[in-house]
Structure 1
Amino acid sequence: MTETSPPQPMGWSESLRAFLHPRVITMLFLGFSAGIPLLLIFSSLSLWLGEAGVERKTVTFFSWAALGYSFKFVWAPLIDKLPLPVLTRLLGKRRAWLLVAQLLIMLAIVLMGSIDPVLGETQLKWMAWAAVLLGFSSATQDVVIDAYRIEAAETRLQAMMSSTYIAGYRLGMIVAGAGALFMASWLGSEKAHYVYAAWQWTYWAMAGMMLVGVITTLLIPEPEHQRAERHHYAAMDYTRLLLVFALAVAGFVTTFAISSALFEDLQTAVGGDAFVGFGLETLHLSLSIAVAVLIGWALVQVGAVNQAMARDTWIEPIAEFFRRYGVKTALLLLALIGLYRITDIVPGVISNVFYQDLGFSKPEIATAVKTFGVVVSIAGGFMGGLFATRYGVMRTLMLGAVLTAFTNLVFVWLAYSGHNVPVMYTAVTADNLAAGFASAAFVAFLSSLTSVSFTAVQYAIFSSLMTLLPKTIGGYSGTIVDSIGYPGFFTFTTLIGIPVLWLVWAAGKHLKVE
């Protein structure tokens, strides 16, 4: 990051008082609101679908509903510019968008709870659409909260606001993870005895938890000082950009649907091999993305959207990054960003199904993974921050890559051990310590690559890129497990982390990011 004069550090007493600042406390509640939705798409939903008898590969495909987090940079400028009728006048720009996002989250969770997946493929499709709505609206909430945090207080409070936000986020994850599993179990649903009403009431209760965020939004003031914009465009320009994006998405969906039969035939022709199938599906997805990009490019070229706005919003931040580092180093860095968390995210998609298949109950999973594991990950993040401060970002990044890759081998041990609680806790401890440690270093690394001239867009692109490929591969994790079993799968996730070690080493040769 471009160097600026750092603010003078606060004393201990002043720092402690800062945690009682109203803006800082606000972030605890907004963080809680942001932490609720994610696990309702991932782990809690995977256990629900598993109990309902849905195929493992179908369960893991639902993780794609969270890909909205990987593309949130696309509509972030729209949120930053477009006013909402009536609400913007009553609440202000940030609070209006925040309230709408939270209400959409509640609606999506209620819709998911209103659908019983055992009733057939049609119901599963409706649940998938509700999950997509949840992913889109929760990613939107994250965008608005980030903007609110930056604008709501001076620089000296930002670190405290981030700390309370993360604490609230982790609490929200515990409620949506461990809390949801305990509640569904208490209401009588188990793998051998599925009770739809238990999951229905659990999801409706999680929707009610979002009232914490809604009430906070209604009570807090709108930021007094908002950032000056580099460029001023008409609201209609952003609306046209939204329509172009919608047409590009429609092209992606249409291409994917039309070509599905062709790729299914190819998969059958090669005999159903998991890795060949993964390659074919990657090609299938790449083709659909290429069509979407082509549609967007063509619409920009014919003037469907303000070309100067499109260039300043999307092209210039990327061009500046390549100018600053050069093409070779920039491509190396982008490869590292896109692959660094692959050994963490890919096995995480199927982890709850894995525990369930080994015979662990929901209370056991809730206690070990959703409560104990979250606490351990916080400790891992603290350790990663200390290590980075003492030894530098790149060394910490390398150690984090080694830990996240090779701790997956502990899950191979667990796969052979079966229902073994001590081994499960060993695996959860190793996995969460490694993930927390690596994440702390990676956030520092991404921040160091971001130009202050394009902080919002570049960081959004980086954070989106780091989850895009891992989440895409994670969607196929059920298919891979069906083919090679859990020991083979976790060995595979270890092996795909080895190229990351070379990328970290190579990046360290080109950079001085300490």
Structure 2
Amino acid sequence: MSVRTGEQPEGFRVYLRPRVLGMLLLGFSAGLPLLLVGGTFSAWLRDIGVELTAIGFLSWVGIAHSIKVLWAPVVDRAPLPLLSRLLGRRRAWMLAAQITIAVSLAGMALTNPLENLWLVAVFAVLSAFGSATQDVAIDAYRVEAEARHRQAAMAATYVTGYRVALLAAGAGALHVANIGSWNLAYGAMAALMGVGMLTTLIIREPAVTIDRATAILEKRVTDYLDDTDHQGMRRDLTAWFIGAVICPFADFFKRYGMAAVVVLLFIGTFRISDIFMGVLANPFYLDLGFSKAEIANVAAAFGLAMTLIGAALGGVLVARFGIAPLLIGTALMAPVTNLTFSWLALIGPETYGLVIAIIADNITGGMAISVLIAYLSSLTNTAYTATQYALFSSVMTLPGQFLGGFTGILAASVGWFWFFVTAAILGLPAFLLAILLLRIAHPDQVERPGMRDDNSAVP
């Protein structure tokens, strides 16, 4: 692995590139459903009197984002009837997923959880699977659409759009629910998915080709099949399965060897504390005594500003010092800042305490997200972008999502103070693994196969 050099800095002009600007709106489309089956969904259920234990288990609705690697090969290689021919493989899957999300959110808006909680859960699951599929397609588009030296800008605009969507789905939904009803709030969110649909119809499909090393790897598949008795559809399905499912993982482990295990362990633990505590963040605020308006204004709106500051700061620091120092720094800062919520649990519903906790947690979170996106993008081969990025992002969220199902039981048993202490402890392994990465798979010494620095495909 080697560091690429010689990229010409474009300054702020890079943010005027159409594909970089487009990521702002695609980021909004990606971020909108997340809270609507996560934190906002939990607030809705808690507000109408659903027990914490049930809310904790319903957080498993979001586990779709953690297992999306299971169907990412289909998104990577399989065409959708008519849509793929009209829009291309990435845009077709984006649009299909966005329609699924909009319809599911509308279904939640038209259902009363107190009368049909199971039906609301079904719509939430459909929305989560649509959201996860959209993430697979958008992540692949983002990595393929621009050169490596523009990935930080792509990540910055994506995170900005994503966080604005979280504001809409968090503070926006809470305000609408406070003035009107939760059903009205979810109906408005379903309508906002039109932003993503329109953007998908406007943007251009990225053009990439398979690099020479990857082509050799896939040729081994066809050579193997030529030596077997596989014929017709059986041969085609076997070739597709090996090329779409086996080759992406074989490519990753071939490039990294045993270091791949450490890379995956690091990715899996990097955000575990934030995901774990995030499941019950809104119920925590409500139980502590904050109003829905205070949560919307401080935790959501003010929190968005802090996250964007953190993301911008992360981008500047990465440009100056590289990815590795920021991965180590944010891996330590994330669990440490979680302890501010333990302090908040002690002092009670004090606005100044909430502000301090949000500043510490969200600035760190913004830095961590922008750094991690740049790191994960650098690990992918453009021949298998959707599958490999889905693998990384699934590994990133699965441990936290799984453990999140038990957060209600833990919080009810030990109280809010020790709940957040536990969340902080869960984040410490990522710090140790980040240090280990410096020795065996340095984050700043990776090369993205299949693309040159000017975004032209390697022949």
Tell whether the structures are fold-level matches, with TM greater than 0.5: yes
Matched, 1:309 2:240: yes
The aligned residue for residue 204 of structure 1 is 187
Note closer, same or farther for the CA distance 1:48–1:322 as it changes in structure 2 (3 Å cut). Answer: same
Q: CA deviation at 1:49?
A: 0.1
Partner residue in 2 for 1:499 = 429
Aligned to 2:289: 359
Gaps of 5+ in 2: 216-233, 445-459
Which residue identity lines up with residue 200 of structure 2 in the other structure? T
- Does residue 215 of the first structure (1) align with residue 188 of the second (2)? no
Q: What is aligned with 1:78?
A: 74
Closer, same or farther: CA 509–178 of 1 in aligned 2, 3 Å: same
C-alpha separation between the residues in 1 aligned to 2:375 and 2:100? 33
- Give 1:267's aligned residue: none
Shift in alpha-carbon separation, 1:512–1:146, aligned structure 2, 3 A: closer
User: 1: distance between equivalents of 2:386 and 2:96?
Assistant: 21
Is the counterpart of residue 125 in structure 1 residue 118 in structure 2? yes
Residue 382 of structure 1 pairs with residue 300 of structure 2: no
Please say if residues 91 and 205 of structure 2, whose CA atoms lie closer than 8 Å, have aligned partners that are also in contact: no
Deviation (angstroms), 1:183 = 0.8
Distance 1:222 1:347 in 2: 38
Q: Deviations over 1:8-66 (max 9, x none)?
A: 333x4xx53x5344444333322222221111011111110001111112112222222
Q: 1:406 to 1:151 in 2, by over 3 A?
A: closer
Note if contact 1:94-1:222 (Cα within 8 Å) is conserved in structure 2: no
Aligned to 2:100: 104
Counterpart position of 1:8 = 8
Q: Post-superposition shift, 1:154?
A: 6.8
Residues 29, 58 of structure 1: CA spacing in aligned structure 2 closer, same or farther, 3 A cutoff?
same
Distance 1:142 1:443, change over 3 A: closer
Residue 151 of structure 1: how far off its partner (Å) = 5.4
SS of the aligned residue for 1:200 comes to: helix
Which residue is 2:257 aligned to? 326
TM-score (norm 2): 0.84
**Residues 304 and 359 (structure 1), Cα distance of their counterparts in 2 relative to 1, 3 Å cut:** farther
- The alignment covers a number of residue pairs equal to 425
Q: With structure 1 as the length reference, what TM-score do the two structures score?
A: 0.75
User: Which residue of the other structure, out of 363, 371, 387, is the alignment partner of 1:441?
Assistant: 371
Q: Percent identity?
A: 42
Q: Give the counterpart letter for 2:308 in structure 1.
A: I
Alignment of 1:57-206 (within 5 A): 57-119=53-115, 123-149=116-142, 160-187=153-180, 198-206=181-189
- Hey, what's the Cα distance between the residues in 2 that align with 1:147 and 1:451? 10
Distance 1:65 1:496 in 2: 22
Q: Which runs of 5+ in 1 are unaligned?
A: 188-197, 232-302
Q: Secondary structure at the match of 2:71?
A: helix
Write the mapping of 1:275-314 to structure 2, written as runs, cut at 5 A: 306-314=237-245
**Which runs of structure 2 are paired with 1:250-289 in the superposition (5 Å)?**
none
By how many angstroms is 1:452 displaced? Answer: 5.8
Moved more, 367-376 or 307-316: 307-316
Greater shift in the superposed pair: 453-462 or 205-214: 453-462
User: Residue 26 of structure 2 contacts residue 196 of structure 2 at CA under 8 Å; is this kept in 1?
Assistant: yes
Query: Are 1:43 and 2:35 counterparts?
Result: no
Partner of 1:27: 23
By relative contact order (CA 8 Å, sep 6+), the higher-ranking structure is 2
Counterpart of 2:296, as a letter, is: A
> What amino acid is the match of 2:342?
V
Q: What is the Cα deviation at residue 400 of structure 1?
A: 1.2
Which amino acid letter does the alignment assign opposite residue 367 of structure 1?
N
Q: Aligned-residue CA RMSD in angstroms? A: 2.8
